[in-house]
Structure 1
């Protein structure tokens, strides 16, 4: 299911067939849409639509193209509109320095006033920015009353600008423009930043995807953008849809019935959440933040039994591998791990284990002989290149023994498991090349690095796997 985070369904181009447009959107898997205003009248109309259609929510604001209509009275009216329960954001507001004759100071004044309103109402921003990214970033940096929460709609900036906006707390809205022949630079940006802070949008009736150019854009066309996002970031269509949907739910505080996932699919693997308990407290782990990994909420209501986990795996043949993982250390429930792995192997599955490598220390016996015949792959979170850095990042329960226990586990596991990988999140204090030498030269196992983006979305090397990663 999808969320279109930016559409102008109140536009007169939809006046005659909006019901059919919404029906086609539902058929295309779009369950919710944000109807965005660009002046007072369109903001009122957005609220009216959202009141009558349960799948719609509204945003209110005055676009920089309509700066002449902005006034103290207009701001008072926007504040009144923003109190409506249908309103989830302030926007579309922003800066547009593209056309000759633009009024820079006037646009900044209008944007700042509306952004301050968002701060007073505790609402996120929907920002329009064209040829003004550096000015926008400087304004957000220097004005403490501008909330650092929102989306830069129809993002068209470069990589440093994208990274800085994300660092400042913003999401990037991407739509049909990413499919255009002249969108190579934008596609490169997306391939580098990933989807952790991306929303999918149409901007309907404007900016249709390339395959629909010349037509009125509509929400049902968003699937073309989602496919492009998936292709660029190396995930499945379902992954891209789920991640961008979850980002929109969290940003706009939309209703969400999601519960902690016991099983969750990423790319062509299925992951089983064994526990949220862990013997480490790595500062970058999503357990320390929001329990979100690639659009999945992994905070368990209760720990599942082995039978419950096996019941959740309906068709093993649709997955390349079924991995015992989750946001926690699965070997803390080693008996459950063994039962689940045995049951899956009896059904012909390829089975993996993602671990911090402290299972033997946790269970006070060498677990590695028990891996034989149950696990086809093991992924171990290396964390760092030496004991001191490891302890500083992981905060293990047993700092005197955890580092050596992890290395001993890897050495023993490689003798009984055909595929062992050391995984690393490349946080700043880690020497990646030293880690590579440790894995490949000394321990003679595979090595994989996961980029750390520094925005709270890095996840864990074993809990949020990247493509083509052995056990992951």
Structure 2
């Protein structure tokens, strides 16, 4: 059994075949998923999908690329949604210096506010990081994010940062890039991350793993990611899938369904 800890089934790319995509995941052993909402459009649908399936959950937050659009009312709305029984984390949040829609200072302010909100409602956080690792580490430390813990989502950074995030009570989640031929960093990290802090995800519809790179990603492909990590670590696939699934249950405080 596998747990896709980060998927965007609420994306437009799944509009026409969402139910079939979910069933395909179930049929391939991906029994649990967390659908991540990150703005006014995607959050309601994330919760709607989670309500419709017993083993699908939701995370709610505000993406750093769109930080400039977030209002105080949006923050209050996210806080209210945190009490929903199928919401298991706040995020994705963080910093993204690749795109320049939202100035860095605005991104940092919105990031700090969401960490404070997560601490208020006592929920873990999901971190989006693109070209901003040092600033993210500094901000997490300043805001004492270790008190609630979180996930470094779709980790694609140097393994030298792994221990710093572990020390802050974070799990590390690996996605499609770990299967890419020339992606050395996630492969190195896949071996360095302690098994009891490792998670797997697709980030679908983005970052489809090999051999589907460049196509639409979907949650059933998390099996390809787990198989690659098991290969890199030299352990059986069943062991890797069991460990990462139990880690996800623990992190999201989810009880396995009978």
Bucket of the pairwise TM-score, normalised by the shorter protein? over 0.9
The SS at the match of 2:41 is helix
Partner of 2:45: 45
Are residues 120 and 71 of structure 1, via their aligned partners in 2, closer, same or farther at CA, if it must alter by over 3 Å?
A: same
Partner of 1:247: 247
Are residues 69 and 229 of structure 1, via their aligned partners in 2, closer, same or farther at CA, if it must alter by over 3 Å?
A: same
The SS at the match of 2:226 is helix
Q: For 1:147 and 1:75, how far apart are their aligned partners in 2?
A: 20
Contact between 1:40 and 1:61, CA under 8 Å: does it hold in 2? Answer: no
TM-score (norm 1): 0.53
Unpaired segments of 5 or more residues in structure 1?
Answer: 259-472
Deviations 1:239-278 (A, max 9, x none): 11011101110000111269xxxxxxxxxxxxxxxxxxxx
Are residues 119 and 130 of structure 1, via their aligned partners in 2, closer, same or farther at CA, if it must alter by over 3 Å?
A: same
Note the C-alpha offset of 1:184: 1.4
Note the C-alpha offset of 1:127: 0.7
Partner of 1:209: 209
**RCO higher in structure (CA 8 A, sep ≥6):** 2
Are residues 43 and 257 of structure 1, via their aligned partners in 2, closer, same or farther at CA, if it must alter by over 3 Å?
A: closer
Matched, 1:190 2:190: yes
Contact between 1:119 and 1:146, CA under 8 Å: does it hold in 2? Answer: no
Contact between 1:58 and 1:89, CA under 8 Å: does it hold in 2? Answer: yes
Deviations 1:413-434 (A, max 9, x none): xxxxxxxxxxxxxxxxxxxxxx
List 4+ stretches of structure 1 deviating above 6 A: none
TM-score (norm 2): 0.95
Contact between 2:115 and 2:143, CA under 8 Å: does it hold in 1? Answer: no
Note the C-alpha offset of 1:10: 0.8
Partner of 1:400: none
For residues 49-198 of structure 1, what are the structure 2 equivalents within 5 Å? 49-100=49-100, 102-144=102-144, 147-198=147-198
Q: For 1:16 and 1:92, how far apart are their aligned partners in 2?
A: 25
The SS at the match of 2:195 is coil
Worse overlay, 188-197 or 238-247: 188-197
The SS at the match of 2:211 is helix
Q: For 2:113 and 2:132, how far apart are their aligned partners in 1?
A: 18
Q: For 1:101 and 1:37, how far apart are their aligned partners in 2?
A: 19
The SS at the match of 1:185 is helix
The SS at the match of 2:44 is helix
Q: For 2:43 and 2:257, how far apart are their aligned partners in 1?
A: 28
Note the C-alpha offset of 1:52: 1.2
Deviations 1:25-53 (A, max 9, x none): 01110111000011122111111111111
Note the C-alpha offset of 1:118: 1.0
Deviations 1:334-366 (A, max 9, x none): xxxxxxxxxxxxxxxxxxxxxxxxxxxxxxxxx
The SS at the match of 2:164 is helix
Q: For 2:166 and 2:60, how far apart are their aligned partners in 1?
A: 23
Q: For 2:152 and 2:235, how far apart are their aligned partners in 1?
A: 23
Contact between 2:146 and 2:168, CA under 8 Å: does it hold in 1? Answer: no
Greater helix content:
2
Partner of 1:10: 10
Note the C-alpha offset of 1:83: 1.5
Q: What count of residue pairs does the alignment treat as equivalent?
A: 258
Partner of 1:28: 28
Note the C-alpha offset of 1:154: 0.9
Q: For 1:130 and 1:194, how far apart are their aligned partners in 2?
A: 23
Give the greater-gyration-radius structure (CA).
1
Q: For 1:220 and 1:185, how far apart are their aligned partners in 2?
A: 24
